[in-house]
Chain A
Amino acid sequence: MNVLLLIGKSSTSHEAVAAEAAELRAQGHRVTLGTRVPPRQVLADAVDEVVLLAPALPAPPAPAVPTAVTAATGAVTAATEKPATPAGGGNPASKVVRTARKRVRWARGQVSGAITEPARSWRAVKRNDTVMALARNADVVVAVDAPMVRAGWQLGKALPLPDGPEVVYGLPAAASALTRRATR
């Protein structure tokens, strides 16, 4: 079966998506990827085809190396450490400004997460002929992360059952969607 994965967020783990894609391919499925984030090599290698959607988002940083155990001494060393937070200034006015900025950032994040990015992601999908063709041919479309939920939902409306694909949210849902598709 054909499985189309959609990624719309920089922070989505490419390793996790790659692991799932590899498992699906090992089961004999063809896995394609529509993404606003340039895939790292691990993910690009794990799928059959990649379509980069515009506007693209910055690529994620490579995952931090976990705390390692040094063989010789048994000592534990952390590869990455969170930088110390600078001490807060005592000026009440600057505290008010900092709080206000924090709230504005939070509000912008809320708007961006709930409205802007989902709308951009759906536009990115519907304006890309290649990924729309993949969606039409797909048996299962997986909105891997939250910004792609609206795109998945709209694809579900645009490509109605029984000919249209199963459209699900989240990688763990792919297996049950494939089963549903097979029994349809």
Chain B
Amino acid sequence: MGARSADRRPHLLYVAWGFPPSRGSGVYRALATANAFADDGWDVTVITTDREMWDRYTGSDPALEERIHPGIELVRVPFAWPGMETDLRRWSRTRVYLPGMWRRTRARLEKRPFPETHYGPWRRPIERAALEVHARHPVDLAIGTANPNVDFTAPWKLHQAHGVPFVMDYRDAWSLNTFTGGRLTEPGSRAAKVERAMLADAAEAWFVNGPIAEWHRAEYPESAAGMRVVMNGWDPEFDPGHPSTPAPADRPVSFGYVGTITPVVPVREFLDGWRAAYADPSFAGSQAHIHGFLGFYRTPRPDLAALLKTGADVGVAYEGPVTRTALKETYAGFDVLLLLQGEGRYITGGKLFDYLSTGLPIVSVQDPSGHAWDLLHGYPLWYPAATLATADVTAALLAAAHGARTADAETRCAAYDFAQAFRRDRQLEPRISALRAQVLGAPTTGSEAPE
């Protein structure tokens, strides 16, 4: 490491496969983290993929690129993604005539440099890029943000070659299946061994919620001391700047849901509860506006679309996905937000933070074992259904509709204040301060964010 001086600008190397113009859901954490370090006075170099790849395979959002801090240097390392190639002119004869063999061979070759399907081949190029960055501008701290987990390899390489401290920022988890609680890697497998070795060398490992961190502390007790919770949060541009306002009495209450709906989301339970609530005179005419993808792809799953249609006669309408740039405006049209979540102790869900940013009443229709349930304790405008039984969902919906009209200014102020703790920058501040102190020997400021 270079000479320490509290006055000089520390240099952060940040490795994020998904970075603008990517429009994937994970890009916001990566963007916010890199920007937060730059705002704190660090020189920041980001190693990421070539922008053409996003245009070609997933679609890109050029507007997001404009939000990258102007001081950040981008090092774009090309990434080949043959599995996503849809241009048939680029397919080899082997792939066309022997697709099964092509897939199996490809999968084996991809995992040779690093045990991760699709992403393994990116290891050597980003390691080389990291060493080059360090050679021309010594790095004080490196952070890799997963997934993909290959992002951890370049910081690890810098640590092995030059002793640079590094942080593993788990946006998700490598070995833990956050949906089922089971394992994604076999104990003793190559991937499990690599993860253990990386964690042992890492200065810190960040997790997005307490339950995931706890699982890792139990699984890797020798590395538990460096494990921290750095939650996701809502981006400051969503801040309405004031508490929410009561729903007007001269029109029905407008409920809104924004998020991907998959078969694990308790839509049926919600519809049952909604239909029963609709019979109540105080609820009549209420509308539920459902936004988001139905399933994981652009084409809506017919079964989910048909299920939602069964609520059309009681004011439930599916209104398609909404872009992130239009989110704030969309939320502004709602009086109450619907938080429908499937089971999963390790799931928080990014939409929870966006919901909190609005300061609006939130109805939870979810299993109480989820982490979102824990976070919402204390939110003054929270109306949880005690169980997924129809009567409980109905009671929560009726209470929320009542709250939307009658909650006083003091309660709404308290909701707004509660949400401020979940701003994304508030989550990052304590860690950035601590890491600055670690690399420069400066005193720390700020306090730990809530878990």
Do A and B actually bind?
Answer: yes
Interface residues of A (CB under 8 A from B): 13, 15-16, 19-20, 63, 65-69, 71, 74, 76, 110, 114, 118, 143, 146, 149-150, 152-153, 156, 161, 166-173, 176-177
User: Is B275 a contact partner of A71 (Cβ separation < 8 A)?
Assistant: yes
Contact in complex: B390, A16 (CB < 8 Å): no
Q: List, sorted by A's number, 5 A–B pairs whose CB atoms are closer than 8 Å.
A: A68-B310, A69-B275, A153-B89, A172-B298, A176-B86
| B residues in contact with A110, CB < 8 Å | 100
Contact B88 A152 (CB under 8 A): yes
In the complex, what residues of B have CB within 8 A of residue A63's CB?
A: 302
A173 to B360, CA, bound (A): 38
Q: By the criterion CB–CB under 8 Å, are B276 and A169 in contact?
A: no
CB-based contact A74/B307 at 8 Å: no
Chain B hits for A71, CB < 8 A: 275, 313
Closest-CB distance, A135 to chain B (whole angstroms): 13
Contact assessment for A168 and B88 in the assembled complex, using a CB-CB cutoff below 8 Å:
yes
Q: Please report B residues at the A interface, Cβ cutoff 8 Å.
A: 55-56, 59, 86-89, 91, 96-100, 268, 271-272, 275-276, 297-300, 302-304, 306-307, 310-311, 313, 390
Question: CA A74 – CA B275 in complex, angstroms?
Answer: 8
Which 5 A/B pairs are nearest by Cβ-Cβ distance?
A173-B86, A66-B306, A156-B89, A167-B88, A66-B303
Interface of A: prevailing SS: mixed
Contacts A66-B303, A110-B100, A161-B89 supplied; 20 other A-B pairs, CB < 8 Å: A16-B299, A67-B307, A68-B310, A69-B268, A69-B272, A69-B310, A69-B311, A74-B272, A76-B268, A118-B96, A143-B88, A149-B91, A149-B96, A153-B88, A153-B89, A167-B89, A168-B88, A169-B88, A171-B299, A176-B55
Contact B299 A153 (CB under 8 A): no
Contact B99 A114 (CB under 8 A): yes
A171 neighbours in B (Cβ, 8 Å): 299
| Contact indicator B96/A65 (Cβ below 8 Å) | no
Query: Known contacts being A69-B268, A69-B275, is A176 close to B59, with CB within 8 Å?
Result: yes
Contacts of B313 in A (CB 8 A): 71
A74 touches B302 (CB 8 A): no
Give the chain B neighbours of A66 by CB distance below 8 A.
302-304, 306-307
| CB <8 Å contact, B96 and A74 | no
Which of chain A's residues have a CB closer than 8 A to the CB of B271? 69
**Contacts of A153 on B, CB cut-off 8 Å?**
88-89, 91, 96
Provided the pairs A68-B310, A146-B99 are in contact, do residues A19 and B390 lie with their beta carbons within 8 angstroms? no
Q: How far is the CB of A82 from chain B (nearest CB, A)?
A: 15
Given contacts A69-B268, A69-B275, A149-B96, A169 and B86 within 8 Å (CB-CB): yes
The residue of chain A having its C-beta at the shortest distance from the C-beta of B92 within the complex is: A153
Is A19 in contact with B300, judged by CB distance below 8 angstroms? yes
Q: Once bound together, how far apart are the Cα atoms of A15 and B272, in whole Å?
A: 27
Q: Closest A residue to B97 by CB, please name it.
A: A150
Q: How far apart sit A153 and B297, CA to CA, in the bound complex (Å)?
A: 24
Q: Which A residues are CB-close (under 8 A) to B268?
A: 67, 69, 76
Alpha-carbon gap, A162 to B55, bound state (A): 21
Report A-chain residues with C-beta under 8 Å of the C-beta of B307: 66-67
Q: Which residues of B contact A74 (CB under 8 A)?
A: 272, 275-276, 390
Q: Which residues of A contact B86 (CB under 8 A)?
A: 168-170, 172-173, 176-177
